[in-house]
Amino acid sequence: MRVIFIKDLKKQAKKGEVKEVKDGYAQNFLIKNGYAVQMNDKNLTDLAKQKEIQKEEDKKNREEAEKLKVGLEKNEFLFKVKTGEQDRVFGSVSPKQIKDELHKQGFKIEKRQIEMVSNITTLGFHNVTINLYKDIKATIRVHLVK
């Protein structure tokens, strides 16, 4: 029986794939548990519509990410930190602090989008990468001053 997967099924198929499976497996597991539907003309047209909608959403999200990237990269983000002897920073600047500063300036970025190997602990300019969308990344300049 040919089925169209409507959900991802680990090690079996991804959403939107069409596969040939045994009748019993299709009826008793895939269709019963909502992982797939039987392939027919109506379901194929529904799949085509869903793929088209997904493609449009992807295009829209990609355009928004590109605009956000331009806005982020033209700004410089300043952090005033306390320092001790020989200009050593007390504490560090973490992804959460960067996220809070971005929110203050009107950028909606989540902490998980910020790529940092470790917290920033030295004065000066630092580059921080932000994942905006699948393959779109912005590099912002973070400046630590006394």
Give the Cβ contact number of residue 130 at 10 Å.
24
State pTM to two decimals: 0.71
Cβ–Cβ < 8 Å for 102, 109? yes
Cβ–Cβ < 8 Å for 79, 93? yes
Question: Cα separation of 12 and 8, whole Å?
Answer: 8
Q: What is the CATH number of domain 2-60?
A: 3.40.5.10
Amino acid identity, residue 54? Q
Which DSSP string corresponds to 92-103?
A: -B-HHHHHHHHH
Convert the pLDDT of each residue in 55-102 to its tens digit. 999 999 999 999 999 999 998 999 998 888 887 888 888 999 999 999
- Look up the CATH superfamily of 65-145: Ribosomal protein L9, C-terminal domain (3.10.430.100)
Convert the pLDDT of each residue in 18-51 to its tens digit. 999 999 999 999 999 999 999 999 999 998 998 9
The encoded tokens of residue 15 equal: 């959403």
Spell out the domain ranges in the chain.
Answer: 2-60, 65-145
The encoded tokens of residue 109 equal: 């970025």
Confidence at residue 119, expressed as pLDDT on a 0 to 100 scale: 87
Alpha helix (H) residue ranges in the chain: 23-25, 41-73, 95-104
